[in-house]
Amino acid sequence: MNLYRHHFIDGSEFAAAPGKQVCVGRNYAEHAKELGNEIPDTPLLFIKPATAMVAMAEPLELPAGDGSCHHELELALLIAQPLSKAAPSECRAAIAGIGLALDLTLRDLQSELKKKGQPWERAKAFDGASPLSAFIPFEQDLDFASLKLRLMRNGGVQQQGSCADMLFSVETLLSEISHNFSLMPGDVVLTGTPAGVGPLCSGDHLLCELEGLLKVETVVL
Q: Contact, 205 vs 217, CB < 8 A?
A: yes
pTM: 0.96
Buried b (16+ CB within 10 A) or exposed e, 82-109: ebeebeeeebbebbbbbbbbbbbbbbeb
User: For the residues 82-106, what does the mean pLDDT come to?
Assistant: 98
Please report, rounded to a whole number, the percentage of residues in the chain having pLDDT higher than 70.
Answer: 99
Please report the pLDDT score of residue 7 as a whole number.
97
Please report the pLDDT score of residue 1 as a whole number.
55
pLDDT digits (tens, 9 = 90+) for 44-57: 999 999 999 999 99
User: For the residues 82-93, what does the mean pLDDT come to?
Assistant: 98
pLDDT digits (tens, 9 = 90+) for 26-35: 999 888 788 8
Q: What's the chain's average pLDDT?
A: 96
pLDDT digits (tens, 9 = 90+) for 151-191: 999 999 999 999 999 999 999 999 999 999 999 999 999 99
Burial of 171 (C-beta count, 10 Å sphere; 0-12/13-18/19+): middle
Instruction: Give the end-to-end CA distance of the chain in Å, rounded to a whole number.
Output: 14
Please report the pLDDT score of residue 35 as a whole number.
81
pLDDT digits (tens, 9 = 90+) for 37-85: 888 899 999 999 999 999 999 999 999 999 999 999 999 999 999 999 9
Please report the pLDDT score of residue 2 as a whole number.
64
